[in-house]
Every structure is written in C-alpha cells, then in structure tokens.
Amino acid sequence: MANHPSAEKRNRQRVVRTERNRSAASALRTSIKKARAAVAGGDAAKAKSSVASAEKALAKAASKGVIHSRTASRTTSRIARALAKTAKA
C-alpha cells in the first residue's frame, strides 16, 4: 500500500497506463490474427490489405511502448514473409 503522496500518484498512473496498454495490446493481437488468417485463406487482395494494417498497428504499438520494437519488427517480418510465400505459389 502506498504511504506517500508521490507513491499514490504513481499507483494511479500505473492503473491508467496498464488499462490503456491492455486495450492496445488486445487490438494488436486481433489485427495480427486477422492478417494471419487472411494469408492462410488465400485471397491475395484481402491478405495484402490486412497485412498492411497489421504492420501499421505493430509500428504504432512499438512507438507507444506497448510492445518492444524488436518484437514488432520480428512479427512484421514473419507476416510479410508468409504473404510473399503465398504470392509465389
């Protein structure tokens, strides 16, 4: 339990940030799942647009500090590789 005013404020800030990050991370996971499903589905146009939106969401989450920048880069790379692989076939 916080005993000092500054510690109480930090606790309030933590609660707000945690809720914001939880919401952003959940939306990010949803967009990644949609992109992966679209790539697996085979519809090239839908897959390309969903991958682009997932890449944008990953970049935004990394810039906001919701996820680490290398995690965003790795996930973006994997989704892009999967899209390229289906485009070749």
- Domains detected in the chain: 5-88 (1.20.58.110)
Length of the chain equals 89
pLDDT at 89 over 80: no
Cβ neighbors of 29 (< 8 A, separation 6 or more) are none
SS3 annotation, 5-49: HHHHHHHHHHHHHHHHHHHHHHHHHHHHHHHHHHHHHCCHHHHHH
Instruction: Give pTM, 2 decimals.
Output: 0.84
pLDDT in tens, 4-48: 999 999 999 999 999 999 999 999 999 999 999 999 998 888 999
Tell me the backbone φ, ψ of residue 2, rounded to 5 degrees.
-75, 135
pLDDT in tens, 45-73: 899 999 999 999 999 999 999 999 999 99
